[in-house]
Amino acid sequence: MPGPLRLSHRDILPPGQQVHLARAALSSRRPARLHEQDFPELIWVQNGTVRHHLPDTREELAEGDLRFLRPGDAHALQGRGEAPILVSLSFHPELIAGLGARHPALLGHFFWSRAALPEGARRDGRQMAAINQAALRLERSSRTALEAEAFLLPLLASLMDEAPSAATDMPDWLSRACAAARDPAVFRDGAAGLARVAGRAHPHVSRMMRRYLDQTPSDYVNARRMEFAARRLGGTGDPLAEIAADCGIPNLSHFHKLFRAHHGMTPLAYRKAHQHEVLQPR
């Protein structure tokens, strides 16, 4: 791909507005190039499945997946399947800088993350209904700083409440490695992939993960693999063998065992339960 296209908040935010909301029905055509911007952006999948292209990798996003894009993050979006719809909130950079200054607990997370990849979150159907209702109120507002914060702060507070308490004093290198472990290019290699991006010896990574997360590197990576598999099963018709291979688990028997342990049902049962007709927003 050619170099990324550069976008500016001055071209997107009208005078006096601190946030711009857009909904897009994404094309299935592969994007010709990535783009980056000088403003923070929150995106989430409202319907269908979206392929999120990043400089060195790509990820599949399904309904309920959120990503916090920071200024300078290069990316592009591609629809997959039927009627993929994405919601985007572009914020004035001074608004986000001010939130970080007033709420130091946010630093190192979300728009303020120092991880190599944009930070993400997953919301269930009830939580997404609340987010979409809040977005609708924001869309009908004058989109001032007050209204932008009224949308953003409850969401960030709820996500912070769900974060592991140990994350506040976790070493930066381990936090970055854990964030990178949701990249298929990392988790396909299992615990060795996590140790590689951590830049530490495997025994040291294992000791530190047990200390801060009470998990082994294999446990952590397998959870990321099964989250990825669940998104693919619920949002695509891709063959099971292909999904397992993309997880780095070509042995289908082992893949079934891991998936059932994490989700309480077989992959095919999960697909049947979670795939549904895409609903267009009213």
The domain that contains 96 carries what CATH number?
2.60.120.810
Residue 279 lies in a domain: no
Question: What is the span of the domain harbouring residue 248?
Answer: 168-274
- Last-in-domain residue among 110, 143, 162: 162
Would you give the DSSP letter of residue 63?
T
Residue 218 lies in a domain: yes
Longest dimension (CA), the chain: 58
Res 176: pLDDT:
79
Are both 88 and 177 inside the same structural domain? no
For residue 193, the SS3 value is helix
Task: Quote the tokens at residue 40.
Answer: 């923070």
Which of 154-163, 166-175, 205-214 has the weakest average pLDDT? 166-175
Residue 86 scores a pLDDT above 70: yes
Over residues 10-39, the pLDDT tens digits come to 999 988 899 999 999 999 999 989 999 999
CA distance 101 to 107: 9
Are both 112 and 85 inside the same structural domain? yes
Are both 90 and 156 inside the same structural domain? yes
Are both 88 and 124 inside the same structural domain? yes
Residue 156 lies in a domain: yes
Are both 18 and 154 inside the same structural domain? yes
Residue 125 lies in a domain: yes
CA distance 83 to 280: 8
Q: For 274, list phi and psi in degrees, rounded to 5.
A: -110, -20
Are both 24 and 153 inside the same structural domain? yes
Which of 82-86, 156-160, 168-172, 209-213 has the weakest average pLDDT? 168-172
Are both 51 and 189 inside the same structural domain? no
Show the 3-state SS of 125-152: HHHHHHHHHHHHHHHCCCCCHHHHHHHH
- Last-in-domain residue among 162, 186, 206: 162
Are both 12 and 152 inside the same structural domain? yes
Res 275: pLDDT:
67
- Last-in-domain residue among 162, 193, 208: 162
Burial grade of 251 (CB within 10 A; 0-12, 13-18, 19 or more): exposed
Residue 131 lies in a domain: yes
In 96-207, the DSSP E strands lie at 119-122
Residue 237 lies in a domain: yes
Number of domains in the chain: 2
Res 273: pLDDT:
81
CB 31 within 8 A of CB 76: yes
Residue 144 scores a pLDDT above 80: yes
Mean pLDDT of 155-182: 76
Element (H, E) at 69: strand 65-69
| Residue 163: pLDDT band with limits 50, 70, 90 | low
Are both 125 and 174 inside the same structural domain? no
Q: Name which residue leads in pLDDT, 170 or 84.
A: 84
For residue 158, the SS3 value is helix
DSSP secondary structure letters along 210-253: HHHHS--HHHHHHHHHHHHHHHHHHH----HHHHHHHTT---HH
Q: For 174, list phi and psi in degrees, rounded to 5.
A: -75, -40
Over residues 223-263, the pLDDT tens digits come to 999 988 988 887 778 899 999 999 999 999 999 999 999 88
Residue 43 lies in a domain: yes
Please tell me the number of Cα atoms within 13 Å of 17 on its side-chain side: 19
CB 86 within 8 A of CB 45: yes
Residue 282 lies in a domain: no
Q: Name which residue leads in pLDDT, 182 or 21.
A: 21
pTM equals 0.64
Are both 147 and 201 inside the same structural domain? no
Residue 280 scores a pLDDT above 60: no
| CATH at 231 | 1.10.10.60
Residue 5 scores a pLDDT above 90: no
Are both 142 and 182 inside the same structural domain? no
Res 108: pLDDT:
84
Overall residue count recorded for the chain in this entry: 282
Strand 41-53, strand 65-69: pairing: antiparallel
Would you give the DSSP letter of residue 164?
-
Are both 144 and 12 inside the same structural domain? yes
Show the 3-state SS of 246-272: HCCCCCHHHHHHHHHHHHCCCHHHHHH
